[in-house]
Structure 1
Amino acid sequence: MYFAIDDTYGSSQLAPSRFVTAERRTHVAVAFSAEQVDEIRHQMRSLIAYVNRDLEVKVGEFHFTDIFNRIGPWKDCANSGANIAVFEAFVNIYNINRWPVFVQTVDSRTFADHGIENFSGKLEGFDLSKKSDQSLFLLLIKIRSEFPPAPKKIRVLIDEGPKRKTGTKLGSSIFRDYSDRLEASFASSLEEPLLQIADFVAYSVNRLTNLTYKENRTEFDTEILELLGSIKWNSRDLLPQVGSRKDLAADADEAHARYRSSIGLVRRKKS
């Protein structure tokens, strides 16, 4: 079993919401069976080659923020539609495979919602006073809960960042009873194609949220919102909903309220 992990974060340009906050941090994990990995890597490399050759966009990897905002190598693709073509390709790839997805979001009220007054400390490179470390730590705990020690080896690949470079290992404390059956380390998406899928999933989850709560959507925003809204998620952490174009934010807040009530959380007031 392989897990590819990437992160994303909230936007300050959102319509008022009772539940979705700008300061949130999210980590996602996409699970792959070991038998799939070689084929997925081949497909991702083939897609990069196709984009370079046929769409004439020179890239070594996909960064979906750049693709959406049409910056860097994507700045001239508004007329060609190359950026939409890449989004469509990834939506189709995910919908065919429907890999399991695990999501963990943390904001300033996450722990208070669950009656936890303080969640901090340091453990194996984690600074648990920071939301980015909290969300990754809790996501790894979620993986541990879902996949207890087994004879088959588990490989966890986390997209590198400024503080944690390729090859940096972690998880020996979290997965201490897995012995040598688990290996967790940071990796580069340029070198590890599985992280391209995680980048797409993290971006899609965040972009769907941001566009749902965006007050003035452009035609391009709406096109992307509808495209990403067609993803058939395989995840207990994501709740698909159908909202009206008139007030998606209000519809989304009502869906949050129903879900929170179903699991016993008290409805939060606007901050």
Structure 2
Amino acid sequence: MVKGISQQEYDLYLKDDNKPFISRYAVGYAPGSTFKTITASIGLDAKVTYPDKLRNIRGFSWQKDGTWGGYSVTRVSDVQNVDMSKALIYSDNIYFAQEAIEMGEKTFRNGLNQFIFGEELDLPIVMNPAQISKQNTFQSEILLADTAYGQGELMITPIQQASMYSVFQNEGKIVYPKLLNDKSERKTKSAITSLTASEMMKNLTAVVSDPNGTAHLLFNPAHQLAAKTGTAELKKKQDEKGDENSFLLAFDAEQDSFLLLSLVEHYTPGSSATQLNQAFIEELFSYFK
């Protein structure tokens, strides 16, 4: 395009269903289950979540009470006696929904506000600030529960997600993104405690190393990789099958040499972000080695 293209060639891009002109890294998405790392961190700091606390969850769906009507939170694996580690390994929506409800909206929102929601990033890239919800309150316990596992009205760009997830490698501090040729001092701010960051690092490593972990496909005993997978389903009502975006958060848990945040739009079985990044992550380890 730098050399010039015809209107006919331009129209092919413009009308392409894959929308190649959209900068995905700067577009807001529901982050899906990768966001459970943030919910768990807030719960740990608030002394509501703790590693040995068990929740006896039965079945594949749950609702708090009859006031939820026909709505319920669902999960993939029917695992009982769920602690925080197991909830991350199996990516249990119900566990995190229950943790957020126990925290309450005030505690949960106060924790979220320690991150970068509502902030304009100092980058020459047009993007909306990260959003917790459309209103200043959740309006319902259902929305509080859905937000806890990365759905609800959350809207976070991949760049903003990567910045938020940087807390685990940086003793609880968010590392703000900047361009490589920007010579200004790196900006950081504390979001969670260093103890919580360390605990989360250990649990996210288990998501890879445990045979039941959703990211076990990435396990290589030669590396210490931490990861969290995520799927965000886009649907208008509960009973329908919606389009799905696949996310992967992965980072070097030993040398802190890289953090990867990958998105696959409209993914289909066999093409999740985890599957598509398996070889690339091995290349990253080799490169930094």
With structure 2 as the length reference, what TM-score do the two structures score? 0.27
So what's the TM-score if we normalise by structure 1? Answer: 0.29
Question: Which of 1 and 2 has higher RCO (CA within 8 Å, sep 6+)?
Answer: 1
